[in-house]
Amino acid sequence: MSGAEISPPLDQRLLSILVCPVTKGPLTYDATTNELISAQAKLAFPIRDGIPVMLPEEARPSKAEFFNILKAG
């Protein structure tokens, strides 16, 4: 197997019950980054080994928020 492993798609049943731990709002799955995105919190939560890491301290600013920070900076 090559060094670039492809993650399986996130189970839609799991996505339907998970919420953002910060806002309790809905999440969307970003297959290109393998992350769960909270539009309300502007955070991206990683998925490692098929397991969503729903800890706020493990999240990073979402792409949209990152670009807003760059524009303001």
Instruction: Give pLDDT tens digits for 29-48.
Output: 999 999 999 999 999 999 99
Q: How many CA atoms lie within 13 A of 32 on its CB side?
A: 2
In this prediction, residue 39 carries a pLDDT of 94
Q: Kindly list the domain boundaries of the chain, sorted by start residue.
A: 12-72
Q: Specify whether the CB–CB gap between 59 and 26 falls below 8 A.
A: no
Instruction: Express as a percent the part of the chain with pLDDT over 90.
Output: 60
**What is the pTM for the complete model shown?**
0.76
Q: Does domain 12-72 have CATH number 3.20.20.70?
A: no
Burial 3-34 (b: 16+ CB within 10 A, else e): eeeeeeebeeeeeeebebeeeeeebebeeeeb
